Amino acid sequence: MSLIDSVSLPRSFRLPRVDGLIQWIVPLAIIAIWQVASVTGFVPTRVLPAPSDVLLAGWKLLLSGELVRNIWVSFWRASIGFLIGGSIGFAFGLANGLSQLSAKLTDTTLQMVRNVPHLALIPLVILWFGIDESAKLFLVALGVFFPIYLNTLHGIRTVDPQLIEMGRIYGMSDGELFRRVIFPGALPSIFVGIRFALGIMWLTLIVAETIAASSGLGYMAMQAREFMLIDVVVLSILIYALLGKLADSASRVLERLTLSWHPAYWKR
């Protein structure tokens, strides 16, 4: 035992530092090239401001408190919408994966709703909720619902039936069978759903905030467009990218923690 521990420890120490640096080389290089291109006038600042200008705009907005407030509003909308849509999707996925009756009752309906692009509902949603918070939350929740629902359902349905039989033979109760066999077996698929959902979450939010909002990053970008503040527009786009990356990293960390048994998560 102790031998194995001492072998696996140094590896987990070494990897994050090297890998953490490598993945940032390309983005940094792009920014450097961009800066040079702007300063030399190769790219007109009316088209694309220099990174330093964008940074400066960000600094000003940060000082005025506007930036933090807008980021916070968008982050809050994203998380709450994700939590609502995700939990409902997860609950339906569980129910329909575990119970034939529930699946017969609801699956067809859900599949039909899925075929409507949720962004097509924006006019309807505005009529229903106005440009209220609930409109954005509703759209995000709806967008997040399906990837989580579908992947939870798929994960539960594809748990190895031999393992389930094994659990029954060894006298597991229904609850125990779920906790020890079905849920861990479905987890890799659930994570695929979460990663998909995170992408959809940001996309939905950007669109919704651009069209119908009075705060948030999308709103900040639209305001800036009206006043021709192109550096702020670019800044909001970059922040969206950063937030998206952050959400993805968080889900990766969670994935690696909970799926540490899976050989696919050992290297890298």
Partner 1 sequence: MQTAVRSSLPETEFTSRANFAPHARVVREERQGERQAQTTGLPLSIRGLRKSFGDNEVLRGIDLHIPAGQFVAIVGRSGCGKSTLLRLIAGLDKIDAGSISFGQDVQPEDIRVMFQEPRLLPWARVLANVEVGLGRDRALGDAHARAEKALTEVGLADKRDQWPSVLSGGQKQRVALGRALVSRPRVLAFDEPLGALDALTRISMQRLLERVWRDQGFTAILVTHDVAEAVALADRVLVIDEGRIAHDVTVNAGRPRQRGSAELAGLEGSILSHLLSADDRT
Residue that has been written with the tokens 């699956």 in this structure: 107
Nearer to partner 1, 60 or 262 (CB): 262
Q: Helix axis angle, 183-211 relative to 66-98, nearest 10°?
A: 140
Both tokens assigned to 235: 């800044």
Residues sharing a CB contact under 8 Å with residue 109, sequence separation 6 or more, in sequence order: none
Nearer to partner 1, 1 or 21 (CB): 1
Whole-angstrom Cα distance, residue 65 to residue 60?
A: 9
Binding mask 187-206 for partner 1 (x = CB under 8 A): x-------------------
Options 105, 123, 165, 253; binder of partner 1; rule CB under 8 A: 165
C-alpha pair distances (Å), 119 with each of 91, 132, 149, 246: 23, 16, 18, 24
Is residue 163 involved in binding partner 1 (CB under 8 A)?
Answer: yes
Whole-number minimum distance, CB 194 to partner 1, in Å? 18
Only one of the segments 31-39, 59-67, 159-167, 248-256 lies at the binding site for partner 1 (rule: CB under 8 A); that segment is 159-167
Whole-number minimum distance, CB 266 to partner 1, in Å? 9
Only one of the segments 80-88, 122-130, 201-209, 255-263 lies at the binding site for partner 1 (rule: CB under 8 A); that segment is 255-263
Q: What is the DSSP letter of 216?
A: S
Instruction: Confirm if 140 and 77 have CB atoms less than 8 A apart.
Output: yes
- Interface residue list for partner 1 (CB under 8 A): 1, 4, 162-163, 165-167, 169-172, 180-181, 184-185, 187, 259, 261-263
